[in-house]
A and B are shown apart, each in its own frame.
Chain A
Amino acid sequence: MNAIEISKWIVGILVLFGALLNLISAIGIIRLPDVYSRLHASTKAATLGVMCILIGTFLFFSIVDGDINARILLAIVFIFITSPVGGHLISRAGYHAGVSLWESSIKDDLHTKKRKKQS
């Protein structure tokens, strides 16, 4: 096997791994009980999945076609910065709008702090 064959295997594994992570995140969105655990599934797994697919695309076009595409690297950095912040903002807006936690959850520090401030 020459270098291009080996790199095609690596690219295939990366893209399939990213697609699998996205599938796991979609299953997590359906299966998990409340908003916060769903965000836990969707932001982390989908971010890593999309980044794996983009790294696979970048490697494919840079090794096979010899075309270094800086936009894909920029997109990887951009998604890595913004996706967790989006999850944080959605979960915080949900908490302040009064979305309740899963009934089996036992720890809610912000709730006790808020009540102490009100009393």
Chain B
Amino acid sequence: MRQNDIILQTTTKIVLFIILAFSVFMFFNGHNNPGGGFVGGLMTSSAIVLFMLAFGLETTKRILPFDFKLVAASGLLIAILTGMGSFVFGVPFLSHTFGYFTIPILGEMELATATLFDLGVYLVVVGVTLTIIQTIGEDS
């Protein structure tokens, strides 16, 4: 049965960007405030799930042609590599450091290598959640 979903689809197109922007904000906010890779990843995947609800699995696969198992695997790889990177400087596994850098537009910022580990967590959460939902949704 063909359905007329125009209200849901139009609302999704607007709301999706609010959720994605807020998830990026959550991801970068995690060092000094509530937030971080896990919550940001869950929020990104919930935005993609909203898109799946409004437009269907096939459209989502066409505009996001990733294998989400590979996304989760690359997240794990990034997390392990940030841990291994501490061996280069002769300190124990998973030691993190930070420094102050001057970036052209944003001015002086504190950049920490914990953000890279958080990026790994983010990718793993997005990959695992969307793999589960795609696998369950494909059967019906």
Contacts and interface: CB of A to CB of B under 8 A. Distances in A.
- For the residues of A in contact with B, the DSSP-based class is helix
B18 A74 contact: yes
Contacts of A81: 11, 14-15
Contacts of A88: 7
Nearest to B26: A71
A89 interface: yes
A85 B18 contact: no
Interface in B59-116: none
B11 A82 contact: yes
Interface in A80-109: 81-82, 85, 88-89
Interface of A: 71, 74, 77-78, 81-82, 85, 88-89
Contacts, number: 17
A112 to B, nearest CB: 18
B22 A74 contact: yes
B132 interface: no
B8 interface: yes
Task: Name the interface size band of chain B.
Answer: under 10
A41 B48 CA distance: 30
Contacts of A89: 7-8
A109 to B, nearest CB: 15
A89 B7 CA distance: 9
A109 B95 CA distance: 67
B49 to A, nearest CB: 14
Interface in B1-47: 7-8, 11, 14-15, 18, 22
Contacts of B7: 85, 88-89
A81 B17 CA distance: 13
17 contacts: A71-B22, A74-B18, A74-B22, A77-B18, A78-B15, A78-B18, A81-B11, A81-B14, A81-B15, A82-B11, A82-B15, A85-B7, A85-B8, A85-B11, A88-B7, A89-B7, A89-B8
A89 B18 CA distance: 20
